[in-house]
Structure formats: C-alpha cells, structure tokens
C-alpha cells in the first residue's frame, strides 16, 4: 500500500437479515456514487486491510445495503461491521471549479478574516447540523463548514480563510 493516499467513502454498518446483508453509510454525493467503485478496500478496527467486491446492492428508504462476495450469512457479515470503505485518491473523479475533496484540504493553514492563524486543518467531523473542521493550533477548534463560515480556499497557498472570531 506504500505511499498511496486513501480516501474513506463510507462505512459498513449493522447487519440486515440473515443472508449476509449489511447497511452501508456512504459519504459520497449522491450516496449511490459509492457503487461506482467495483472494488472496495476495507479497513478494519486494527488497521487490517482487505479487498472485497459488492456481490449485490440495494437501496431502500433507510439507505444502501450490500452483500459482499463470499458473505452469505449474518454471522459472516457481522465481522465487517464498522469497517471503513476506502479507495485510492487517484481513483476519485476530478472536482469541479470551487469544489474540493476533504482529504486534499488536510494540512492547510486556517485563519480568520483578520489574519489570526488558528492552526492546521487536522480532520473533519460530520455532525447532525453540518460538518466541522478540526483545527489544531495553540488550542483545538471545531469550525463549521458552511458557506457562511468558510470564506475562501487557496489551494496554491494551502490556506483556508474563515469567518470566525479569534476569541471564540
């Protein structure tokens, strides 16, 4: 796996039924775009990796469900609950102007409109209301990822400007 950069596109959730089906949380937009990747690189809780293919997929009102190749029982599927679905960054399609993959923004400097340096973007967390950027500097800050709060992203300078008070 070397220096390949990996991007998490989803996670395997709880089992569904008795025949090896699992709920799938998809981070793609739309969620069904996860199915554009015929091979999934799964990453377990201890970092173990396994390459598997979806044998069958279906959508229902609560989201996507998958049965992986070689998994025909609930017991077999249960061992994959919580595993991350990743793909190599090189397999992602190009983005439109003004769009960014989160993975590409990790490590960017984050500052506010007054030029106060908040630190470096460490990760993203999806919360019910919206996503937040976890920025590590003198202290950790969780900044909302909304059009109101993210003013600009300069990929050349690796800098994100936010509308956020320095003392908050």
Token look-up 């908050």 returns: 168
pLDDT tens-digit map of 99-150: 888 889 999 999 999 999 999 999 998 888 888 999 999 999 999 999 999 9
| Residue 28 burial class via C-beta count within 10 angstroms: exposed 0-12, middle 13-18, buried 19 and up | middle
pTM of the predicted model over 0.75: no
When the pLDDT of each residue in the chain is averaged and rounded to a whole number, the result is 91
Looking at the predicted structure, is the pLDDT value of residue 5 above 80? Answer: yes
- Per-residue confidence at 1, pLDDT binned at 50, 70, 90? very low
| Residue 142 burial class via C-beta count within 10 angstroms: exposed 0-12, middle 13-18, buried 19 and up | exposed
For residue 2, what pLDDT is reported?
56
Q: How far is CA 99 from the centre of its chain?
A: 15
Backbone torsions φ then ψ of 78, nearest 5 degrees: -55, -30
Domains along the chain with CATH numbers: 6-91 (2.40.30.60), 102-162 (2.30.30.240)
For residue 167, what pLDDT is reported?
84
C-beta contacts of 123-126 below 8 A and 24+ residues apart:
126/27
Residues 6 or more apart whose CB falls under 8 angstroms from that of 146 comprise 130
For residue 54, what pLDDT is reported?
92
């Amino acid at each position: 796996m070397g220096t390949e950069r990996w991007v998490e596109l989803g996670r395997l959730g709880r089992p569904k039924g008795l025949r090896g089906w699992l709920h799938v949380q998809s981070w793609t937009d739309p969620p069904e775009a996860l199915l554009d990747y015929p091979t999934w690189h799964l990453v377990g809780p201890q970092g173990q990796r396994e390459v598997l293919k979806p044998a069958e997929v279906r959508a229902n009102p609560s989201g996507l469900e998958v049965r992986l190749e070689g998994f025909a029982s609930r017991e077999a599927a249960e061992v994959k609950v919580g595993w991350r679905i990743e793909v190599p960054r090189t397999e992602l399609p190009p983005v439109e102007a003004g769009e960014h993959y989160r993975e590409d923004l990790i490590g960017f400097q984050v500052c506010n409109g007054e030029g106060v340096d908040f630190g470096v973007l460490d990760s993203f967390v999806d919360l019910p209301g919206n996503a937040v950027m976890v920025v590590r500097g003198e202290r950790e800050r969780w900044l909302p990822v909304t059009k109101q709060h993210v003013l600009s992203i300069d990929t050349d300078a690796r800098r994100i400007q936010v509308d956020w008070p320095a003392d908050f």
